A and B are shown apart, each in its own frame.
Chain A
C-alpha cells in the first residue's frame, strides 16, 4: 500500500469516511479470498474457477474503487467507529454471495445471502441441502469455509494488522469488532497487536489442519475443517458435517481445537510463548472449562440413564457440549434421530445445551454468545444482591477472579446482557409470529444471536435451516450479524441513523423552524 501517505495528506480530495474506507479494505481482502478459492478449485479439479475469479474481480474492483476514493478522517467519534464496523460487515456479506450465485449453486439471492452471513458471522447454520454438497464445486465449498475463517478473527483486525497507517482509531475499531468486553493489548502498538493475533490465528489453523490431515480425511476436508474450527464457525465440507467421518479421533481433535478456539487468544499467544500456566490462572478459563466438564458429566449421566451405552453417551455429550459451549456448531449426527441428534435427547440434556447456547465461549476468542466473563460478572451481581439479606449496608465489590471489576464496567456488562436478552426475546416473538413453533423459534433466535449454528426443535443438527421460511431466515441472518458484532455496534448505528432520520423528518415537518 504505497499510497498510505497520500491517504492522510491534508487537502486530499478523497471523501473522508472511515465507514466507506473500511468497506473498501474489507472487500479487497475478501476478494483476495475468492482468488484463493479459485486456486483451490483448479487444484482439486472443480468447475467453478471462472465464477470464483469473476467474483474476485468484481469484489476487489469495487473495494479498490471505494478505498481509493475515500480516506480515514482525522478524528473518529464512537459513532463513526460503530458505523464503520457495522457497514463493512453488511457490505462484505453482500459481496460474499457472489461465488454462490455466479457458480449457480445457490441461484436465489436470499439463500446465498443467508449462507454468506452465516459464514462471515461464524454461525454455521446452512441452507445447503445434501444434493447441494454433491454438485458444489470444491472451490465454492472452500470459499464457504474461508468466509468463516475471515469472520472469526475479523476482517478489520486483519486490515489493521496489514496496514499500519490505520493506527489512528485502530484500537477502537478492533474493540468494536472483536468479541468480548475487553481486548488485551499484546504489544504497545495496535497494529503489532493485530498482527500477532493474526499470526497466532494462522498458526493455530495450520496446526489443526495438520492434526486433522493425520487422521486421513484428506487435505481438502482437513483444511476446510480447520478453517471452520479455529474460527468456531461450524460449516463442514461434508453434508453430514462431522457425522460423515464417524470417527472418534477426528472428534477428539475437534473437541480440543474447539475448546482452544473458544478460549482467549491472548492466553493462546502466551501459551505459545512458553507460558501455558496462564490458562489455569485465568478465572474465566476455569469457569469455561469447569462449566463444560460439569455439563459433559451431567449430559453423559442423562443419556446413559436413558439407555445409551456409557462410552457412546460420553462421546456424544463431550462433542455436543463442546460444539455449543464454544459456539462452533459442528454436528456429529449420522442422520435424523441418530445418537448425535440432540433434538432427540431427553429434555433435560437439551436444556443444558440450550444454556450453553446463551453463554458461548470466552472473551477475546472467536466464539459467539454472551461470553463466560459476562455471565460470571452477572452471577456475581446476583450473588451480591442475595448477600444483602445478611449485610444490608455492606459495600461489596464485584470480582472476577482476584480482580475487582469497576462498577462502570459492571454497568456496561449489565447493559450488554440486558440488550442481548431483550433482542433475543423480541426476535423469538418475531419468529413465532412469522409461524415457527415456539421452541424452534425461540431457540433459533438464541442460536443465531450466539452464532451457534444448530438450534432445538425442528432446526436441530440433522436438519438444514431451510425449515425456516424466507422472512424467518432473514430475521435470523440479521440476528447473526448483531450477535457477531456483540450487539452494540449494530444497535448504536441503528440508533444514530434513526435519530438522524427523525431530525431530518422533524425539520421537513416544521420548515419555519
Chain B
C-alpha cells in the first residue's frame, strides 16, 4: 500500500517525457537553500561595505566570503529548478535546509574574519543569530570591528525574515499561527497554498518588515543613538533577536528615553504583521476585532504592573515602571534585550516571566514561543470541555474572538501543544544530563525554545554562555532551531531519520525465514 502510493507520486511529479526537455535538477531544498546562501552573501557584502566606513580591517574577509556565498548561491539556483508542486514534507525539509545553509555561511564568515575563532562558538553565535535568540558567546562584542558587528545584527534580521517565510511556507501545518488579522484564516483542507498567493503574501511581508525596521531606526535615532547603533539595534529589535553591540545590552546607554524606544521597538516586533498591515491601511474595525492583539497588550501591561509592584526593580517610580515594561515586553515578544538582571529577582516574578516567555508573541509575527493565539484557542477549548461536563451531550463550537475553530484544526493545535511541551521537557532533561543544575536546565529549555535567550541560573543575563559545557551548547542550539522553525521540520527530520532504519528492520523481520532475504 505504502510502496504503491509512493511510486505513483513520483511518476506524477516528474513524468519521464519531461526529463529530456528539462535537464535541470528539480529540488525545492537546493533551490531555496541556494537562495538563502545568496541572500547571506549579499548581506556579507553590505557588511564589508559598512566595515570600510570604519576600520576596514575585516572588509577583505567579509567581502571574499560574501562574494563566494553569493556566487555559490546563484550557481546552485541556476542549476536547480523549483518544482511546481511541493509536498508538505519537502517544504518542511526546505525550511530546515535553508536555515542550516545560512548558519554555515555565517560560521565561515566569523572564522574568516577571526572574530570568533573556535568553531563551536562560531556555530553557537550563528545559530543564535539566525534563530533570533539572544544567547551570545561574546563577553564583549565591542572588541569586534564594525563590519562583523553589522553582520552579527544582520544574521538576526535575516533570521527574522526567514522565520516569516517559514510561516508562509509551512502555513498549512501551523494551524492558527499563520498570518491572521482578526480572522483565523487557515486552509485546513488544503495541504498547500498556491504559489501566486504565497508570493503575494511574501512580498507584503517584505514590505512590512522593511517598514518596521525603518520605524525602529527612526525610534533609536530620535532616542539618541548614532546611525550605526540605530540600524544594528533596529535589526536586532524588530527581528525580536536581542543581540546587542554592547555587553550591557540597553544598560550601556543609560538613557530612559532610549529604553522606552526599545520597549516600542520590541512591541512592534512581537506584533502580527497582519495587524500592522490593517493599521497601515486604517482598518480600525479589523484591529479592534483582533482578540489576540488585546491579549498581547494585556499581557505586557499586566506583567509590567505586577513586576513594578512585586519586584520594584528601580530606584523610583519612573524607573520601576520603565524597567518592568522593558523586561515584560522583551519577554512577551521573545526578544532578549535587557536592562536588569532578572536572574537576581524574586522567584515569583521569575516564574511569571518564564511563563510569558513560554507563551511568546502574537501569531504571524517574528517573535517566538507557543504563540498567544494558540494559548487562547486552548483556553476556549477548555471552557467548552467544562461546559460539556456539566451538560453532557452539549454541542458547542470553540471560538477565538469572533472566529469559530474547526474541530480538525483544534485537534492539530492539541497535538502541537503536546509536541511543544514535550520538546521543552526533552530539552529540560537533555540539559540536565549535560550537568547543568535544575533551574538552569528548566529555564534554559523554555527560553531557547521560545528563541528568547537569557534564562536563570548559569544562563542569566550577562553571563557568557561559553561557561556551560559543549553538550549544553549543542542542546541549546537544537532547541533554538526547533523553536524558530515551529518544531515541525526538526521533529519530522528526526522521525524520518528514525523511521527509515526502523522500516528496514521491520521488513527484514517480516521477510526472515521466508527465503525472500536471499533473493534481494
Contacts and interface: CB of A to CB of B under 8 A. Distances in A.
A352 interface: yes
Interface stretch (B129-137, B433-441, B500-508): B433-441
B432 A422 contact: no
Contact of A355 (B350, B355, B425, B442): B425
B344 to A, nearest CB: 13
B347 interface: yes
Query: How many interface residues does chain B have, given as a range?
Result: 35 or more
A311 interface: no
Contacts of A347: 432-433, 435-438, 441
Contacts of A457: 438
Contacts, number: 143
Main secondary structure of the interface of B (DSSP, over half): helix
A210 interface: no
Among A348, A381, A436, the one with the most B-chain Cβ atoms within 10 Å of its Cβ is A348
Among A389, A414, A441, A488, the one with the most B-chain Cβ atoms within 10 Å of its Cβ is A389
A238 B382 CA distance: 43
B418 A348 contact: no
A390 B415 contact: no
Interface in A322-374: 346-348, 350-352, 355
Contact of B438 (A390, A392, A425, A456): A456
B390 interface: yes
A382 B415 contact: yes
A389 B173 contact: yes
B324 to A, nearest CB: 15
B435 A346 contact: yes
Interface string B166-204: 000000110000000000000000010000000000000
A2 B388 CA distance: 38
Main secondary structure of the interface of A (DSSP, over half): helix
Interface string A390-427: 10110000000000000100111011101101100100
A79 interface: yes
Contacts of B386: 415, 419, 488, 491-492, 495
Contacts of B352: 429, 433
B351 A441 contact: yes
Contacts of A355: 425, 429
B95 to A, nearest CB: 12
A378 interface: yes
Interface string A377-393: 01101101110111011
Given A347-B438, A378-B418, A386-B491, A411 B385 contact: yes
A78 interface: yes
A428 interface: yes
A435 interface: yes
Contacts of B417: 418
Given A386-B495, A389-B492, A456-B438, A422 B382 contact: yes
Contact of B412 (A346, A388, A429): A388
Interface in A455-502: 456-457, 488, 491-492, 495-496
B411 interface: yes
B386 to A, nearest CB: 6
Nearest to A396: B411
Given A346-B435, A388-B88, A429-B352, 4 more contacts: A347-B433, A385-B411, A389-B492, A407-B407
13 contacts: A78-B389, A78-B392, A347-B436, A351-B429, A382-B422, A384-B411, A386-B491, A389-B492, A412-B389, A419-B386, A439-B438, A441-B351, A491-B386
Interface of B: 88-89, 92, 172-173, 191, 310, 346-348, 350-352, 354-355, 378, 381-382, 384-386, 388-392, 407, 411-412, 414-419, 421-422, 425, 428-429, 432-433, 435-439, 441-443, 456, 488, 491-492, 495
Interface of A: 78-79, 82, 346-348, 350-352, 355, 378-379, 381-382, 384-386, 388-390, 392-393, 407, 410-412, 414-416, 418-419, 421-422, 425, 428-429, 432-439, 441-442, 456-457, 488, 491-492, 495-496
The 9 closest A-B pairs by CB, nearest first: A385-B415, A415-B385, A433-B348, A392-B191, A382-B418, A347-B432, A432-B347, A432-B351, A348-B433
